[in-house]
Amino acid sequence: MSINQSLRPVTTEKRDHIYIGGCDTVELAKKYGTPLYILDEETIRGICREYKSAFRDYKNIRMMYACKSLCNLAVLRIVDDEGFGFDTVSSGEIYTAYKAGVNMEKVLFNGNNKSSEEVELALDLGVGRFSVDNFYEAELLNRFAQDKGKTVDVLLRITPGIECHTHDYIQTGQVDSKFGFDLSQVDEIINLIKIDYNNLNLKGIHAHIGSQIFETRSYYDEVEILIKEIARIKTVHGIALEEMNIGGGLGVKYTENDCPPSVEELANAVTEAMKQALEKYSIEEPVIYIEPGRSVISTAGVTLYTVGSFKDIPGVRKYVALDGGMADNPRPSMYQAKYTAEVANRMNNSETEIVTLAGRYCESGDILIENIELPCLETGDIVCVYNTGAYNYSMASNYNRVPKPAMVLVNNSQSDMIVSRESLEDLTARENIPDRLRQQ
């Protein structure tokens, strides 16, 4: 079984308590407080190695970690150590990669509305690739590169017209999308690059069809469309593109009902589609870039919460309030995402009840998990929610003026703080009262 098909980190042990990375999660909650994000290093490294092994038969493959799923110094160091490059979408992600000490040639800058300041920073820090999303950006990037006397390697991001079966908010490849050039616009942008934008070096094309994808057929269709377009560009423009970025999007298992494809199944689909398309369109084998994010980091993460208050409505439901919620995990409220949880300190309890795990924030929609069967809970119990590595901390907020949680990396019975818990002082550190408001 592939790691992305597991509900729990690979080192999870159920003794009297839940152990991850050899560490007792109940003791971690006592030491670091809750809510607490925990990442299992062995799980991260394991899935990275699965990706490299699965694509072993396609020699021209480059793995790029999608930083938006979770970006901090320690995570980028681990992923860099496993030989991945980085797909970034902001100056913050670029700067984090730089501070983590990665080779900036392995960094791609993606996104649909890059600012002048972000483009300049990326050029100054030596980002290796830009995925050009629109006409405005092409002109902007060429102008800055020209001013700095640089030639920049670029990919054209296109929308391939594929609608994969996932949540509407995380589809990105359909025709009606804010991302990329429509296929009808490709000739125009290529002509601009050939004639006017002499500081842009066109290397390939880039597409992304969505996130939390469960159907490998979508990748077959994407590869076919991209190879066909590469062949057409060669015929029409005389340009032999060397690179093809197919994005990421492989799904993970949040509940027992989820059945995502394995990494091996993804690799088989992509390589078989490549073989067929290359034969059909008679072009040279391009370098393939693939950008997994969620499937690299999600399973490695869990979040610990402490049980607080209760509200039992006879004949309706029993609410159990936790000390976190939609600010540290907005996905249930935003995407109606489902999760799996266990009670870390009650592994041996047989008496159970159906409850709804509610967050502590002032929103009726702040519900983490509805109607879950758990051991009978008491105030102070520790609830462990699985598969929270991706898009939890990276989308976290200070809603209700609550400080963001800490994050701990575990491995071989050792725990290390990799993101400190925010303090109340942190919440006001960048704020100021104008002098005129101080006057009495």
Structure tokens at 227: 């190879």
* CA quadruple 374, 379, 382, 383: dihedral sign: positive
Round to whole Å and give the CA distance between 426 and 103.
31
Residue 138 makes CB contacts below 8 A (sequence gap 6+) with 132, 154, 189, 192, 193, 197, 200
Q: Give residue for tokens 């296929």.
A: 183
* HSE of 302, CA atoms in CB hemisphere, 13 A: 33
- Rounded to the nearest 5 degrees, what angle is found at the Cα of 408, between the Cα atoms of 387 and 92? 85
Farthest CA pair distance, the chain: 79
Number of H helices, E strands in the chain: 13, 21
Count CB-CB contacts under 10 A for residue 283. Answer: 18
Radius of gyration of the chain (CA): 23
The residue among 207, 208, 209, 203 whose CA lies nearest residue 233 is 203
DSSP states along 174-239: SSS-SSSEEGGGHHHHHHHHHHT-TTEEEEEEE---BSSB--THHHHHHHHHHHHHHHHHHHHH--
- Rounded to the nearest 5 degrees, what angle is found at the Cα of 38, between the Cα atoms of 411 and 69? 110
The residue among 268, 265, 280 whose CA lies nearest residue 224 is 280
The catalytic residue among 48, 164, 362, 376 is 362
**362 an active-site residue?**
yes
Residue 123 makes CB contacts below 8 A (sequence gap 6+) with 144, 145, 148, 150, 152
- Catalytic (active-site) positions: 362
